[in-house]
Structure 1
Amino acid sequence: MTPFKFSIAENPSAAIGLLQKNNSAAFLAGGTNILDLMKEHVTNPTEIIDLGRLQLNTIKPTTSGISLGALAKNTETANHPIIRKDYPLLSKAILAGASAQIRNMASNGGNLLQRTRCSYFYDIAMPCNKRVPGSGCAAMEGFNRMHAIFGWSEKCVAVYPSDMAVALSALNASVKVMQQNGNERIIPFGDFHVLPKDHPEKDNSLNFGELITTIDLPKNNFAGHAAYVKVRDRNSYAFALVSVAAGLDLQGNTINQAQIAMGGVAHKPWRALNAEAFLKGKQATKVNFTKAAELEMSAAKPLSHNQFKIEMGKQTLINALEMALKG
């Protein structure tokens, strides 16, 4: 780890002001990702701005749903009574991620900003367009078993690692940020993370100097029929090969609406829009779940070592829908 200056922000405006003065500075919330990146010399900020004193850790109901403070811990969020009652999909996804120790430290805002765990990104001896734009993508022709099957480009095939964000995508969340001028901006969750295209170094749509203040969730009709299924190489402390967050709004056995997102398959949480569209108005049966999954996975483009993710994605999607139906 290279030497850096340590600064403490007393309020959101002060945090943004400190960052404006140093374009190689970085915010510190829980530190569960950025400290690893610094230890591996993947990122080398010259200044760390501690956000620990900012009053952004409140979880509270709103007229339209619920607001999650950006600095609220993942454990607090997953175990909050309102989340467990009205947004169990989010609780299940958070508890499927990392370890209890990391969830106790990790913040909601930091969870959204975590970077890929692609081994080539972490190995500074290897070319990586995400780490050093223009250097190449070693994973493209390398061992890409964990990598993307949707939305990748010739510049990057990395996947986004968060479990929490997959549920937030399925729940139509939005992200509220404070801009450099002090104004607020609201980013629909589907627009927050971005596909790599020609700029894989850019993980999200935040502008420099913007600070996440809250993550807001609208009310939903999925509380009784929601599931998060995560397939991984071991039972705990492992990132998803494929995951699915699914919520069903049912009238009898008819699907009024399905909202589905996938993890481990793209540079961002992958909203299964084709499957959702197919299921709308259909009966909640395994036959229809299977057709929806096949339709969604038909657009996948596997790499040399991850062809298996297509069938895995199909079966995981079916499983998640069946579990959501059972409630």
Structure 2
Amino acid sequence: MKFLSFHFAVALAITLASGCSRSTAPPMSTTRSIVTVQLNWKAESEHGGLYQAQADELYTQAGLTVAITPGGINAPIGPELELGRCQFAMANADDVVLLRNEGVDIVAVLAAMQNHPRCIMVRADSDVQTFKDLRGTTFQHGPRPYVEFMRSQGLLDQVNEVPYQGSVAPLVADANVVIQGYSFSEPLLAAEQGVEVRTMMASELGFNPYSSVLVTTGKLIRENPTLVQQFVTATRTGWQNYLTDPAKGNALILADNQQMTGATLNRGMKELRKLARPDDLPLKSVGQMSPERWSTLVEQLIELKLVDADKVIASDCYNIDFL
């Protein structure tokens, strides 16, 4: 997804086993706080935990009145947080590092997807079988760190790179076009238009930042840790419920994004569950983050010269105290 550039423009534009019963709601609160959440893209399954928490009234029971603001290409995550127009937002872990490099006081507090859904989509009738076969194709993508990682591996030599248009239409029309996507979304949208695709996961290259990351500011954590705890707890329960039965959450997603279909959301759940619970991760552990993963990510972005080692410390990028 979905930011404008890696530097100045980024800051400006930016358990239970499967099948067990739904998680219980947080205790009822007698006070109410108003919370706004900025999404990093149009409402989709990657935001399912938020919508499920809303549908299950988990925020209400936690004493919160929550408004979810859909995003899009160049969603202004950084500015909205810095200006206080939202208290929380959704991002990818690499966005957190890039924004901190620009001086934005952004902190991850929950990571719903342990493995990143980023994929490169090619038509099934294409000759492209692996990343090494991209030579000669037209690759539609946004200015994302995974692209720089691919470039560092020599995978974009003699590839025609053009901006991502936010649609699967170019791939549907031309077998020589490959596009970025999320494995539980765009491949299914192409299939709905009668085109079968192959997906190549960027995580298989060794670049695998957390995705569907809930972020806030260090300032809010310092000044109102109770609010952060309330929101994280309700959202984490929302994710646990969404991964168990997403029907209510999907209904709200469809209300906010009429370009998405219920069939696509439902078919994508199998893939999404694999990303959120790899290796049969217990349901109660959904949302967890590890210092090692964050350290690896920061080191990779430093090596790619996308961030300055003097500006970003891995331990400042996340806070696991609320999980």
Question: TM-score range with shorter-chain normalisation?
Answer: under 0.3
TM-score by length of 2: 0.24
Instruction: Name whichever structure is richer in helix by fraction.
Output: 2
TM-score by length of 1: 0.24
